[in-house]
Amino acid sequence: MWIGLRPRAVFGKNDTTVLPRIKKLINSKRYLVIGNGKTLVDVTCMSNFLDAVECAIDADVKATGRVYNISNGKPLETGYMMSKIAQNIHPNAKAKHIPQFPVKVLSHAINVMGHLSIGLIQPNLTPYSVNQLTKRMVMDLSGAKKFLGWIPKQSFEEGLEEII
């Protein structure tokens, strides 16, 4: 039998996906927030994900054959998340809000150029990465809590302290 885990935006030591992309939106003077910064998103500290894996390994047979959402359990506004990351990298950086629509159009154009270059250009801004910061993504953790006995222990802020 199997158990599936669906973590949302896992970050931690040696992260090569989530934080590196976000860090590209930050410099010493400003950090970019796409839209109004109020979009709620879930993220997952690596330690929370690993705890969920342990719970899945030890789970009762009644928990098998299902997929469980995993996150920190406390959705964050993208503006808050960006500010916390920016404060750790450049404490004096200020938020600069940029409208969603032009960024989405630009991401599609950059993505097309990447495809046309046959892999010579690796776009930093993709429609997927823009959607990750502009579309609400809040996970229901009730299944993991009920069937795996798992609860997230580490907050976003605690996870960030470990890596920055």
Given a cut of 90, whether residue 81 has pLDDT beyond it is yes
pLDDT band for position 152 (cuts 50, 70, 90): very high
Fold of 3-163: Rossmann fold (3.40.50)
The predicted structure's pLDDT at residue 144? 98
The predicted structure's pLDDT at residue 122? 74
Task: List Cβ neighbours of 89 (8 Å cut-off, separation of 6 or more).
Answer: 23, 26, 164
The predicted structure's pLDDT at residue 126? 84
The radius of gyration of the chain from alpha carbons, rounded to an integer in Å, stands at 18
Average pLDDT over residues 93-122: 87
Name the residue among 73, 101, 79, 91 with its Cα closest to residue 8: 73
Average pLDDT over residues 119-138: 84
Given a cut of 90, whether residue 5 has pLDDT beyond it is yes
The pair phi, psi for residue 120, each rounded to 5°, is: -75, -30
The predicted structure's pLDDT at residue 50? 97
The predicted structure's pLDDT at residue 147? 98
3 state SS of 98:
strand
What's the whole-model pTM score? 0.86
According to DSSP, the residues that pair with 17 across neighbouring strands are none
